[in-house]
Structure 1
Amino acid sequence: RLTLLYGGMFLIAGIVLLSIIYMLAAQALHVGSELPFEIVSGKVTSEICSLPTNASPDAFNAAMNACVNNQRKAALDTLLNRSLLALVGLSVMAFAFGYAMAGRVLSPLGRITRTARRVAGTDLTRRIELDGPDDELKELADTFDDMLDRLERAFTAQQRFVGNASHELRTPLAINRTLLEVHISDPEAPPELHQLGKTLLATNERSEQLVEGLLL
């Protein structure tokens, strides 16, 4: 799609530029091919150049050649100036058209970027869902959506695992803590049992803290 678009843009710009150059060249050739003098009643007159009236044939021919050369130079200068103006105008139009087309073509990338930023904020439910022809950008957007689907499934499975692991690990530790607290609170228990219960209770608390840290 991008290849066809930019190829068409260059083709249209080339056709327009060639047409303008052709018209300017035709006009310059028409002006340059006109004789800068005319013969009236056996006399050579010119409205562009000043021709000597009383001069030798060589001097008169040199003046006529200089007049013709000046006319050709003026025609070429006019062609060059108008070509430069046409080039500047086409450049401005090309930049404006290219800017508009680039914004239209690259707008899907903006959607992809905005979606990626929302996903970075832990919102895995966002999707691009780009519509349009099956080009490179559509393929990129679909691939990104597939990746988000896999990430969402993996994150959901991880949350499920964390929930199950939390239940399976916390329940035995809570039971152990309850049993140890009951034995420690027994006034008839020997001192050695009290000391052992406190040690085991401290170990159980460290295990609970470790489990809490792992399941965050």
Structure 2
Amino acid sequence: MDRAPGPSVRFKLTLSYAGFLMLAGVLLLAAVWVFLLRYVPERAMLINPDDRPTNGVFPVRSALLDVFAPRAAAVLAFLLVIGLVGGWLLAGRMLAPLTHITLATRTAAGGSLTHRIRLPGRDDEFRELADAFDAMLEQLEAHVAEQRRFAANASHELRTPLAVTKALLDVARTDPARDAVIDRLYAVNTRAIDLTEALLLLSRADQRSFTRERVDLSLLAEEATETLLPLAERCGVTVETSGDIAETAGSPALLLQLTTNLLHNAVVHNLPERGTVRMSTEVRPGTVVLTVDNTGERVAPRLVATLTEPFRRGTERVHTDHAGVGLGLAIVARVTQAHDGTLTLAPRSGGGLRVTVELPAAPPHTVR
């Protein structure tokens, strides 16, 4: 924003300090005049050495005023100089932390988020502002790093199907038997479309651009189960749903996508045969909970923390025909965050994973 030049804060504080000091000096001199000089008589008779009055009269108050006025003016001038010099130094010392904060702000505006203020000294308003700014820089640095990793991974994932599509088109131009090539090309194109839609959904969840409605997680679990039941049967996985009515406030589409992604992830990352998935809902004080348990290979605890990162998969045993695009749990994490919820992933002792999504409960219905 372009602004017209104006006086600095230090200059304004200096004038304020000097002005208050001058005002205090004027009030003090006025008090001296009002409470002391007013009791001095206008005139007094001269007294000779033998304590006898003479006929001469001496103007006492006017003489005293002639002596007091120039000295009072000198005192005010001295206070003005002291106020200006002292105020300038004092204002500079008080505003010194702002120099460090301004420098850090300009450094961050230039693209460097690694600089920190780390203002020394005891806690006060400036230190509190500096600490808050450092915390903001840390969050921004982490967010930018995450976005860069995401962009790199997304570019890699999108480049792969496009490269395969180009290769298949080159083959189709010279191969008389094009049916198999066309089927393969259709599958690759479908994967690219799914990935693009997943990226758009992830962006939508980050922006929180949705209208909140009352949503029952138990109904979403049943709907997701009906949708993915054919996939579960082909993979030899049994899906069980149970629980209470669990209402929250949010986007039905995003929460359905969250539930579907959790179930899809639990199905494809499961045992090669006789696997199970259990989805349950429950109501807790102030929150509602959706839990998904699935059998499968053992997952190392250190790996669990990375599963919500984009394009990360937890195990090698995946039903490759339905492996997804690597954004399932990443979308779950973003949708949960957009609904002010908590996502918890924990490995099961016998293998597999337990995923818990805890969301704020919907406000109670109002009775009219």
The two structures have a TM-score, normalised by structure 2, of: 0.36
In the TM superposition, 1:119-138 aligns within 5 A as 119-138=108-127
2:158 is equivalent to residue 169 of structure 1: yes
Q: More strand per residue: 1 or 2? A: 2
How far does the alpha carbon of each residue in 1:83-139 deviate from its partner, in whole angstroms, 9 at most, with x for none? 121011012101211110110110111110111001001101011110011110000
Aligned to 1:115: 104
Identical-residue share of aligned pairs (%): 39
CA RMSD of aligned residues (A): 4.1
The two structures have a TM-score, normalised by structure 1, of: 0.59
> How much does 1:77 deviate?
2.4
2:106 is equivalent to residue 97 of structure 1: no
In the TM superposition, 1:52-91 aligns within 5 A as 64=56, 67-69=57-59, 71-91=60-80
CA distance in 2, matches of 1:140, 1:177: 54
> How much does 1:181 deviate?
2.0
Cα pair 2:118 2:130 within 8 Å, conserved: yes
CA 1:133 to 1:33, structure 2 compared with 1: closer, same or farther past 3 Å? farther
Given residue 142 of structure 1, which amino acid in structure 2 is its aligned partner?
D
CA distance in 2, matches of 1:90, 1:41: 45
For the residue of structure 2 that corresponds to 1:68, the secondary structure is strand
Larger radius of gyration: 1
Given residue 153 of structure 1, which amino acid in structure 2 is its aligned partner?
A
Q: More helix per residue: 1 or 2? A: 1
For the residue of structure 1 that corresponds to 2:95, the secondary structure is helix
For the residue of structure 1 that corresponds to 2:67, the secondary structure is helix
The answer for unaligned runs of 5 or more in structure 1 is: 1-8, 46-59
How far does the alpha carbon of each residue in 1:42-67 deviate from its partner, in whole angstroms, 9 at most, with x for none? 9977xxxxxxxxxxxxxx5xxx3xx4
Aligned to 1:57: none
CA distance in 1, matches of 2:84, 2:46: 45
Out of 144, 148, 165, the position equivalent to 1:155 is: 144
Q: Which has the higher contact order (CA 8 A, sep 6+)?
A: 1
CA distance in 1, matches of 2:176, 2:42: 128
Given residue 92 of structure 2, which amino acid in structure 1 is its aligned partner?
G
Cα pair 1:129 1:142 within 8 Å, conserved: yes
Cα pair 1:32 1:75 within 8 Å, conserved: no
Aligned to 2:320: none
> How much does 1:36 deviate?
6.9
CA distance in 1, matches of 2:100, 2:160: 46
Aligned pairs, number: 160
Aligned to 2:48: 39
Given residue 76 of structure 1, which amino acid in structure 2 is its aligned partner?
L
CA 1:41 to 1:158, structure 2 compared with 1: closer, same or farther past 3 Å? closer
Cα pair 2:107 2:115 within 8 Å, conserved: yes
Aligned to 2:333: none
